[in-house]
Amino acid sequence: MNKILIVNDTPIVNKFIKHSLEEEGFSVDAVMTGQEGITKAKENPYDIILLDYHLPDVNGDVVCATIKADAHIAKTPVYYISSLDKEKMEQVIIQTGAQGFLDITVDIDELCDKIKELVRS
């Protein structure tokens, strides 16, 4: 079973993504702060981490950089899920070593289909 970590401070977003992915057989953990995300990532092996850029405690770039600096979890793919514009996110991806960006403003089913493709590839 594939394990996914969602780090996003919007409960409704977490609920929809988590529910949709669990219906497809994925195991999903969702947390609402960057520090919780870092802790979870260090405690559990995940196949992918979905990371919001704007979080209440530390921004996603700090979370991603922390994950990528830890040899035990550095290879875990990190994808930002955000409504920031693509150009801004491309810069953040380059700076932090994330694998990509998923636009959270698209239809939730479309977003979840893209996540499923990424995990299975």
Which of 18-32, 78-92, 103-117 has the lowest average pLDDT? Answer: 103-117
Indicate the pairing of strand 48-51 with strand 3-7: parallel
Q: List the domains of the chain with CATH numbers.
A: 3-120 (3.40.50.2300)
pLDDT score of 108 more than 90: no
Percent of all residues in the chain with a pLDDT value above 70, rounded to a whole number: 98
DSSP state, residue 17: H
Position of tokens 């780090």?
A: 7
User: What per-residue confidence (pLDDT) applies to 86?
Assistant: 79
User: What per-residue confidence (pLDDT) applies to 112?
Assistant: 74
CA 42 – CA 76 distance, rounded (Å): 11
pLDDT in tens, 33-43: 999 999 999 99
pLDDT in tens, 43-82: 999 999 999 999 999 999 999 999 999 999 999 999 998 8
